[in-house]
Chains A and B, each alone.
Chain A
């Protein structure tokens, strides 16, 4: 299992402090982050992939400083966004999954085999030649997940991956997340998604206000937002 370390991390957007002196070690397999809008949870998650560089402190993934060695870190850390539409680049499902591997310098046959295996794993084989932008919301999110998984990252970070989905598609995505071998860090408002996780972190005004097993941390969050 990988180790993600936050050492005295802070970040500001303009005059507003969104992450305030956070120190954490994430070594569990499935970690959830919850918090109200603007609590800093998405910023914290983005720091794991180097999408946001901390203004103070540092983030390490398996000992690699994310700010200095972002490219290496991104090979280990996949990121799934809330809106899958923003993640899709190529016109068809198969091409979009294959697009991720363009920079991996694999043999054509190896890349094709890896794409086929990923599509199969996520139940997208029948949609492989369909236009990606005409898929349903749930299918698009599965495609976004496939496009990340095809690179075989050790860690998967997801920022509210089910927020834009209906209950059925949210359950479908949750089922796929549950079956992944990767270390998972999931930011979510949907608390039931995190109930089976190993650890849940609750954020408020850029700080960690609870950090425990889901049954305790989620109760603390419910009290916080009540």
Chain B
């Protein structure tokens, strides 16, 4: 979600976010319940076709899926050891299908549409849940990931410049102080933009 949206006009892009979220939940649940390798292989082909339908370039799609391969590189040998080859293959394909479907959703859906969908979902609960506030919290969570990543990178550079590479203190203290200050500034900016309740 962190800036991975790939703009387009395909039917997958134009489908309402709520429909896509619903289908994502159904497909991932089905993939989790199916234990036939043949069916999972067919599902994988289906996912590839969906990516083609969305006209997402292979390079962009792979960038989202490659990180899970690192997890599989550790998880598959363990599963082979304890459950055999077939169980390992089912687990790997299941995970790949789920991650690829989630990636397809984030590549074809702007965050603002996800927020709107979430607010629509929460509308029946408006007596108990403030949908605007939940949406804002989600937006801020997404925003904070690159913000904190930049902050940690800068502090690590400063730590290296001071020759204190191994010092946890030289990393933790500035990161915490700057994170708190950033949170304060972000809150102030939101207040200035009218999100003050």
A: residues with CB less than 8 A from B are: 49-51, 70-71, 74-75, 78-79, 81, 83, 85-92, 94-95, 98-100, 102-103, 129-134, 147-148, 151
- Asked whether, in the complex, the Cβ of B189 is within 8 Å of the Cβ of A86, the reply is yes
What string of 1s and 0s marks CB contacts (under 8 Å) between B131-153 and chain A? 01001000110110011001000
Q: How many residues of B contact A (CB 8 A)?
A: 29
Q: How far is the CB of A154 from chain B (nearest CB, A)?
A: 14
Grouping DSSP codes into helix (H, G, I), strand (E, B) and loop, the A interface class, with mixed when no group exceeds half, is helix
| Cα-based distance from A85 to B149 in the complex (angstroms) | 13
- Asked whether, in the complex, the Cβ of A90 is within 8 Å of the Cβ of B147, the reply is no
Grouping DSSP codes into helix (H, G, I), strand (E, B) and loop, the B interface class, with mixed when no group exceeds half, is helix
Residues of chain B within 8 A of A89, CB atoms compared: 139-140, 143, 186, 189-190
User: How many A-B contacts are there with CB distance less than 8 Å?
Assistant: 89
| Cα-based distance from A134 to B3 in the complex (angstroms) | 9
- Asked whether, in the complex, the Cβ of A79 is within 8 Å of the Cβ of B5, the reply is no
B: residues with CB less than 8 A from A are: 1-3, 5, 7, 110-112, 132, 135, 139-140, 142-143, 146-147, 150, 182, 185-186, 188-196
Ranked 6 nearest A-B pairs via Cβ: A131-B3, A86-B185, A79-B192, A87-B189, A133-B146, A129-B7
- Asked whether, in the complex, the Cβ of A100 is within 8 Å of the Cβ of B143, the reply is no
7 pairs, A vs B, C-beta closer than 8 Å: A85-B147, A89-B140, A90-B139, A91-B5, A92-B111, A95-B110, A99-B139
| Cα-based distance from A142 to B189 in the complex (angstroms) | 15
Contacting A91 at CB < 8 Å: which of B111, B188, B194?
Answer: B111
Residues of chain B within 8 A of A51, CB atoms compared: 188, 191-192
Contacting A100 at CB < 8 Å: which of B111, B146, B194?
Answer: B194
| Cα-based distance from A85 to B185 in the complex (angstroms) | 9
Residues of chain A within 8 A of B188, CB atoms compared: 51, 81, 86
- Asked whether, in the complex, the Cβ of A95 is within 8 Å of the Cβ of B111, the reply is yes
